[in-house]
Amino acid sequence: MTARKIHEMNIILAVDGSEHSEAAAKLLRDLPLPRESTITILAVLVPRNASDHARLEKALADSKEILKGIKPSVKTELLTGYPAEQISEYAARQVPDLIVLGAKGRRATLGILLGGVVQQIVEYADDPVLVVRAPYEGIRRILLVTDGSVHSQRALRYLGHFPIPDLTELHVMHVLPPTPSPALIARSWPAGSESMAPMPSYETEEILARQAEEEERHGNALLAETVNMLGDYGIEAKSVLLRGDAATEIIDYTKQNQINLIVAGSRGLSQMRRLLLGSLSRKLVHYAGCSVLIVKGENHDMV
């Protein structure tokens, strides 16, 4: 197994004093970051909410206290403006290796799954974004999701040099598409077709079985290749092959196996600046009950 090489990182931690931003600071504290890394703790004061100044100063101080004693240098900055805009512009100037935010802010509506500011940062930032959910219980199990795309490969390379805590289990998952039933195929056969008769059910089942076998062969090969590549980075991993709706299977697996962090790739910024995340990445950020790291941006392979 190759010895791990962890790169120094320039990290932005956005805080607002919520339990989720506190969890984000605690997660960063537990990462074995190289000494040369830097962490900038940001808070943003909305002009019309001037009374929040003392609270945000306290949030910065509390987060810095949580990070007290770690190797990287830590600094704080209080900006003025609208949070999503200010954090995005700051990140555009600094080009961080990682943006870290709590999943929900102090003013989140009861029952909301993801704060509005976080949604905007995740969608529009050009950099990898780590969304942390409270309560924070450490990082013991990480799930890397792969579909073999260039975005998944980028996430793999990023994770290869990511500061994973010792004794953390890494699971690698690929989800095969649901297998259509013969009945569904029969229902989709063109009505009134006289030139072709519907295929007999036994032939349909045979075709579906061969298709499923080929998909499983391809899925297992992809997982084996991914596990081998992680091994080249000095990371041991176990593979998981499932079939069904990808988001549902991943989220169910996360709950059943007490996954603390999901890592997934995303295509990132589009020329149209809309629908920036793939639908799977968006669902994971919104509905997974754990923290989620979305890797995007071609400048963040950390190789």
Q: Where are the domains of the chain?
A: 1-136, 138-190+198-303
What pLDDT is attached to residue 275?
A: 40
What pLDDT is attached to residue 181?
A: 62
- For the chain, give the mean pLDDT: 87
Yes or no: say if 25 and 67 are a contact pair by the CB < 8 Å rule. Answer: yes
What pLDDT is attached to residue 94?
A: 93
Minimum mean pLDDT range among 101-110, 197-206, 250-259: 197-206
What pLDDT is attached to residue 276?
A: 41
What pLDDT is attached to residue 125?
A: 87
Nearest to 296 by CA among 106, 98, 147: 98
Using the predicted structure, report yes or no on whether residue 297 has a pLDDT greater than 90. Answer: no
Instruction: Please measure the distance between the N-terminal and C-terminal CA atoms of the chain and give it in whole angstroms.
Output: 18
1-136 and 138-190+198-303: same fold? yes
pLDDT per residue over 140-182, tens digit each?
999 999 999 999 999 999 999 999 999 999 999 999 998 776 5
Residue 27 CB coordination number (10 Å): 23
pLDDT per residue over 196-253, tens digit each?
555 556 677 777 788 889 999 999 999 999 999 999 999 999 999 999 999 999 999 9
Using the predicted structure, report yes or no on whether residue 85 has a pLDDT greater than 60. Answer: yes
Using the predicted structure, report yes or no on whether residue 189 has a pLDDT greater than 70. Answer: no
Fold of 1-136: Rossmann fold (3.40.50)
Using the predicted structure, report yes or no on whether residue 4 has a pLDDT greater than 50. Answer: yes
Beta strand 141-145 pairing with 169-176: parallel
Higher pLDDT, 268 or 274: 268
Element (H, E) at 130: strand 129-132
Where in 149-278 does DSSP place strands (E)? 169-176, 238-243, 261-265
What pLDDT is attached to residue 230?
A: 97
Walk across the sheet containing 291-295 and list its strands: 73-80, 38-45, 10-14, 98-102, 129-132, 291-295, 261-265, 141-145, 169-176, 238-243
Residue 85 CB coordination number (10 Å): 14
Length of the chain (residues): 303
- Please count the CA atoms within 13 angstroms of the CA of 245 that sit on its side-chain side: 8
Yes or no: say if 101 and 12 are a contact pair by the CB < 8 Å rule. Answer: no
- The token pair that represents 179 in the structure block: 């297998």
Instruction: Name 170's bridge partners.
Output: 142
| 184-188: average pLDDT | 56
Fold of 138-190+198-303: Rossmann fold (3.40.50)
What pLDDT is attached to residue 109?
A: 47
Q: What proportions of the chain, in percent to the nearest 5, are helix, strand and coil?
A: 40, 20, 40
Nearest to 8 by CA among 72, 68, 94, 99: 72
Distance CA 278, CA 115 (A): 19
Which contacts of 234-237 are long-range, i.e. CB under 8 A and separated by 24 or more positions?
A: 234/1, 234/2, 234/3, 234/4, 234/5, 235/4, 235/159, 235/160, 235/164, 235/170, 236/1, 236/170, 237/144, 237/170, 237/171, 237/172
Peptide bond into 135 cis (omega under 30): yes
